[in-house]
A and B are shown apart, each in its own frame.
Chain A
Amino acid sequence: MDVLGGLFVDHTLRTVALGSATLGIVSGALGAFAVLRRQALLGDAMSHAALPGVALAFLMTGSRAPLVLMLGAAIAGWLAALAIIGVARTSRIKTDSAMALTLSVFFGAGLVVLTFIQRQPAAGKAGLDKFLFGQAAAMLESDVITMAAVGALGLFALLALWKEFKLLSFDPDFAATLGMPTRRLDILLTGLLVIAIVVGLKTVGVVLMSAMVVAPGAAARQWTNHLGVMVTLAALFGAAAGVLGALLSTTAETSTGPTIVLVATGLVVVSLLFAPARGVVWARIRAWRSRRMLALEAVIADLASLAAQHGSNATHPHDIGALNAVRGRAVVERALSELAADGLARQHDTGGWSLTPRGLAEADRLARSRRAPGVAR
């Protein structure tokens, strides 16, 4: 609780929380499109590829201003995306190989540039190795302002071209037939992914930034089938993961990036399990219920056909040994006890079972609905 209290008093903590929230909102909202467009791994490749951009920007300008480094990262990430798409388009190399190759080569080139930086005397290099894993505690007000400005630019572009991006994500062919410049829109939307990545580089680091692009979108997707809701939720999830992770990491003194990523992963796990309609747990429950219903209906039908063989006395008790043999003892017993509880079947003093008159009527109804497939019951 004193962490939350500290939010209002402690200047550093407030900066960290604000910055992480900004990062979460931007990467969540823009990343939602990456998830929909199957560009999750492109984000990974681009964030690794940002390293040489950051390092070169620093080497050339000698400045650690966030905007300069972000620009370098953005250009490198952008070039990496172009390289991936270009190689996949012009040769028989598939996208996955192109991505793995580009990310490792760019990252390797980044390492080479980093060694040049480390050789410089008195260079302010301390800030740069933090780019690997991020360090929220080092966040300054100027960082937050830059992140917010760059992020706002990205979000504004997203809103301004909302309809176009929506169509491009779900039905690019239709978008093309409507005369939309799909190629240019595609490049632009991929460019927004770059923004989502560079905004978080300082907090989360190049290695794990991809998770912040994917996780909020993947979590949000489970709760809704509506794009607007999904993007909003992704932004909220991103912000929650950012703030919670940053605060946790400052109190527990763990690296910020990994902590934020683990919180975001937690959100994904909860969403995958418990989101209504899509969640794994609900799906299991639904499957279990329908299996039970099918067993009930099967036992009713069996008892009804036994009764039909018996002619005049439909409620004559029957031995259920045959049923047990066919359906399995446990299934039959559970079904029978449920049917008895509903008053559809009863056990006679002899131990045999029969349907009650209501059960017979139910069996009749079920048989009829089965004979007319497609009729909703």
Chain B
Amino acid sequence: MTSAQIDVLLVAVVVAAACAIPGTFLVLRRMAMMSDAISHTVLLGIVLAFFVVSDLGSPILIAGAALVGLLTVVLVEAVSRTGLVREDAAIGLVFPALFSIAVILISSLAGDVHLDSDAVLLGEIAFAPFNRFAPFSVDLGPIALWVMGAILLINLACTALFFKELKLATFDPALAAALGFSPAIVHYGLMSLVSITAVGAFDAVGSILVVALMIGPPAAAYLLTDRLPRMLGLSVAIGAASAVAGYWLARVLDANIAGSMATAVGIAFILVLLLAPQRGLVATARRQRRQRWTFARQMLLIHLATHEGTPAETDESRPDHMQRHMRWPPAFANRVVRTATERGLIVLENDQLRLTAQGRHEARAAAVR
């Protein structure tokens, strides 16, 4: 690997980790679409701040963008508080409007600066290694790495410092309010983190990939665990792995890197959705299948136990009776009888199914339960 490739990979992994942390809380708080809204509107903040400072490298741009990110949240809430439109419509109204203003402002600048709306949406991480951070002409690596590293540290510090508050406000907002943690402060604090992360990241990877990295890995992690710290860790790991995989996918296909990373996030999510040990679709389907057989076997045992020792027993415990009595298809009924026999729960004597001691025991346990 060349040093440029290592730089790109490093930036990608740091971006993925920085996005996964606030993203986890967005997913848990059911506010995932705010990441989409904010990642679009921060463009307006960048443009407005650029009008003020006329320097694309200025940190003021990040501050301006974060402010507009918060403005988005405030506006969405103001519109939905009127009660005239629902919250989803409020999001769908506010962010296209702010984004439109940004696009029009940018096109009025066209040609004067290197800032165009396609680049913001799509990002170009491949250029990240070329903007070096070199104070006093000492090369310290790509600027993007420093910016995103700082944002990652901010995210980590805020999450660690306010972990208890975030956790409580996320899972039980009413209790949090009753205990005196202001849900509003937690809310706006989180939204500030989302805004800052979105601004820092989209320069490198574009706003759409910001959404993918913020929501995809936490959504996958949510299927793997019920514990918040573990979910945070898994999100970072899945995000970083997707970023690396996406980078190699892009190299193999010779395609857009951000797009490939988003695709990798999608693939990672699908894999987890299918294969997660507890909640995966495959595991769920297998569990349901197993439960169906277990239930059928228990029905058979209970049926035999009910009629054991009664005059009707000879009739009721004939193997071919089960199909009619339980309304089982013949193949199904045969298989239930076979597996029960194999497990030593019943035996076939003189065309009669009889419970073994163990079968009787299980029938009783199943019936009591």
Please list the residues of chain A having a beta carbon within 8 angstroms of any beta carbon in chain B.
35, 38-41, 43-44, 48, 87, 90-94, 96-101, 103-112, 114-116, 119, 129, 132-133, 207-208, 210-211, 213-215, 217-218, 221-222, 254-255, 257-259, 261-262, 265, 268, 272, 278, 280
Contact = CB atoms under 8 A, between A and B. Distances in A.
Nearest to B268: A105
A271 to B, nearest CB: 8
Interface of B: 27, 30-33, 35-36, 40, 79, 82, 84-86, 88-89, 91-93, 96-97, 99-101, 103-104, 107-108, 117-118, 121-122, 208-209, 211-212, 214-216, 218-219, 222-223, 250, 253-256, 258-263, 265-266, 269, 273, 279, 281
A101 B266 contact: yes
B84 A210 contact: no
A103 B100 contact: no
Nearest to B101: A262
Question: Among B91, B250, B263, B269, which residue has the most Cβ atoms of chain A within 10 A?
Answer: B263
Given A114-B256, A218-B85, A258-B101, A108 B261 contact: yes
Given A104-B208, A105-B212, A96 B32 contact: yes
B222 A259 contact: no
B253 to A, nearest CB: 7
Contacts of B218: 97
B254 A115 contact: yes
A40 B90 CA distance: 9
A104 to B, nearest CB: 4
B32 A97 contact: yes
B99 A258 contact: yes
17 contacts: A40-B93, A44-B33, A91-B223, A92-B222, A93-B222, A93-B223, A97-B215, A97-B222, A105-B263, A108-B212, A132-B121, A207-B96, A208-B96, A208-B99, A208-B100, A218-B85, A254-B107
Contact of A265 (B33, B97, B108, B281): B97
Interface secondary structure of B, over-half rule = helix
B82 A280 contact: yes
A104 B92 contact: no
B262 A280 contact: no
A349 B27 CA distance: 71
Contacts of A104: 36, 208-209, 211-212, 215-216, 262, 265
Contacts of A96: 30-33
A163 B197 CA distance: 47
Contacts of B33: 41, 44, 96, 99-100
Given A91-B279, A215-B96, 10 more contacts: A40-B91, A48-B208, A92-B279, A105-B216, A105-B263, A108-B262, A119-B254, A129-B118, A133-B103, A210-B96
B167 to A, nearest CB: 18
